[in-house]
Amino acid sequence: MAIMKLVFLVLFFHHANAQTLSTNFHRYSCPNLEGIVSRTTSKFISTTPSLAPALLRLHFHDCFVRGCDGSVLLNSTAGNTAEKASFPNLSLRGFQVVEAAKAAVEKQCPWMVSCADILALVARDAVFQIKGPFWPVPLGRRDGIVSRANEALANLPPPNFNITQLITSFGAKGLSVKDLVVLSGGHTIGVSFCSSFATRIYNFTGRNDADPSMDPAYVAELRRMCPPSDATTTVAMDPGSAQDFDVDYYSMVRQRRGLFQTDAALLDHSATNSYVQQHSTPLGSKSFFDDFAASMVKMGRIGVLTGRAGQIRKICSVVN
Ligand code: HEM
């Protein structure tokens, strides 16, 4: 009988720990949470709209490395090089927005809300504030205490992945081929350093050539903006509406004007290709917004720590 009880308790707590997140999680522990976070986020974005894409990317880079546990927010320490310091994360921006939202939340609800939850809310608010979709964010994540640069390198897909590698990378996080094509639509906003696609326009096969899958007129435009070996210039990923969350991304990809090989690669698989074709006009906007909201919720659940795992950090850049 005692053994049965033990088995029951183990199963119960295992289940409680693996519990799914809930939009009501902070209903009593921090009733004004969402208002505090959205006010803080909008204060920053109204003066610096270019922070909105940065905040979306921050959430993606958090979730793909050790799950959405705020590990991307941690600073390196004497004995540890954190995710932040790894190559793909060097261009991340917007940490100050998360810290400010966290500080404002701590004032009203000390020790209650994780940095991981705050980042998920900030990313949603950022997208919504630049005319993108709104989605209810399931909450209850806890913060991790480990952040390693080499794990960021191993888990974040680089911009030269092909479609098979992308599907594997997203699949490893429990995301589908549809999630891949939908979330890639995040590139409808924001900027990229020239160095992130320089090989594609200057030295694709080592013979001073460009990727033949890119529209030659676009290659020429990009070459004008990005001299070889340029390390400081950034270009809009969706020229013309880089600060508006819209469905333009898919028409760019369709016109062979996706900036990275990973954007172009969406044409190389039947399911992603047909999504691109179907969303290449403004008419595709509604279904893209619904899909994006659903895939963001799914991404936000990757590898989350719940129950008694991890901690609620006081300051997002350091463990308690
Ligand atoms: C599919 C695999 C992906 C690859 C290979 C990729 C790669 C990149 C690269 C190389 C940059 C430019 C970095 C720089 O030079 O500063 C970038 C920017 C960006 N990415 Fe992705 N990305 C991917 C997926 C995603 C996803 C899933 C999202 C969000 C849902 C996202 C959102 C963004 C945003 C918003 C920016 C602009 C950031 C800014 O303006 O600061 N990306 N991405």
pLDDT digits (tens, 9 = 90+) for 120-133: 999 999 999 999 99
- The closest residue, in CA terms, to atom 27 on ligand 1 is 183
Q: Using CB atoms within 10 A of its CB, is residue 300 exposed (0-12), middle (13-18) or buried (19+)?
A: buried
Query: Do 163-298 and 20-155 have the same topology in CATH?
Result: no
Q: Is 262 helix (H, G, I), strand (E, B) or coil?
A: helix
Q: Is 125 helix (H, G, I), strand (E, B) or coil?
A: helix
The domain locations on the chain are 20-155, 163-298
* Residue among 127, 74, 94 nearest 300 (CA): 127
- Taking the centre of ligand 1 as the mean of its atom positions, its distance from the CA of residue 185, in whole angstroms, is 10
Query: Domain 20-155 adopts which CATH fold?
Result: Peroxidase; domain 1 (1.10.520)
26, 61, 269, 279: the active-site residue: 61
The pLDDT score that the predictor gives to residue 1 is: 44
Strand partners, 139: 22
Query: Is residue 71 lining ligand 1, measured as CB closer than 6 Å?
Result: no
- The closest residue, in CA terms, to atom 40 on ligand 1 is 190
CATH 1.10.420.10 corresponds to the domain 163-298: yes
Q: Using CB atoms within 10 A of its CB, is residue 254 exposed (0-12), middle (13-18) or buried (19+)?
A: middle
Strand partners, 22: 139
The pLDDT score that the predictor gives to residue 169 is: 98
The answer on pLDDT for 7 being more than 80 is no
Reported confidence tier of residue 177, pLDDT bands at 50, 70, 90: very high
Whether 174 and 302 have beta carbons less than 8 Å apart is answered as yes
Query: Is residue 192 lining ligand 1, measured as CB closer than 6 Å?
Result: yes
The pLDDT score that the predictor gives to residue 242 is: 83
Reported confidence tier of residue 3, pLDDT bands at 50, 70, 90: very low
- Taking the centre of ligand 1 as the mean of its atom positions, its distance from the CA of residue 187, in whole angstroms, is 6
- The closest residue, in CA terms, to atom 17 on ligand 1 is 192
The answer on pLDDT for 29 being more than 80 is yes
User: Using CA atoms, how far apart are residues 18 and 137, in angstroms rounded to an integer?
Assistant: 18
Query: Is residue 185 lining ligand 1, measured as CB closer than 6 Å?
Result: no
Q: Is 77 helix (H, G, I), strand (E, B) or coil?
A: strand
The answer on pLDDT for 13 being more than 50 is no
Query: Is residue 301 lining ligand 1, measured as CB closer than 6 Å?
Result: no
Q: Out of 50, 57, 222, give the residue to mutate to test ligand 1, the one with the largest number of ligand atoms within 8 Å of its CB.
A: 57
* Residue among 124, 263, 277, 249 nearest 188 (CA): 249
The answer on pLDDT for 9 being more than 70 is no
The pLDDT score that the predictor gives to residue 19 is: 55
> CA dihedral defined by 218, 222, 223, 225, rounded to 10 degrees?
140
Per the document, the length of the chain is 320
Q: Which structure tokens are listed for 304?
A: 């989350």
Atom of ligand 1 nearest to the CA of 296: 30
Whether 199 and 260 have beta carbons less than 8 Å apart is answered as no
Atom of ligand 1 nearest to the CA of 197: 10
Query: Is residue 155 lining ligand 1, measured as CB closer than 6 Å?
Result: no
**Average pLDDT across the chain, whole number:** 94
- Taking the centre of ligand 1 as the mean of its atom positions, its distance from the CA of residue 57, in whole angstroms, is 6
pLDDT in tens, 234-293: 999 999 888 899 999 999 999 999 999 999 999 999 999 999 999 999 888 999 999 999
Instruction: Look up 26 and say whether it is catalytic.
Output: no
Could you give the percent of the chain with pLDDT greater than 90?
91
pLDDT (average), residues 104-124: 98
Which residues are annotated binding-site positions? 62, 65, 67, 69, 71, 83, 157, 187-188, 238, 246
List % helix, strand, coil for the chain (3-state, nearest 5).
Answer: 55, 5, 40
User: Using CA atoms, how far apart are residues 214 and 155, in angstroms rounded to an integer?
Assistant: 26
Atom of ligand 1 nearest to the CA of 161: 5
pLDDT (average), residues 40-51: 97
- Taking the centre of ligand 1 as the mean of its atom positions, its distance from the CA of residue 75, in whole angstroms, is 21
- Taking the centre of ligand 1 as the mean of its atom positions, its distance from the CA of residue 186, in whole angstroms, is 7
- The closest residue, in CA terms, to atom 8 on ligand 1 is 159
The pLDDT score that the predictor gives to residue 245 is: 95
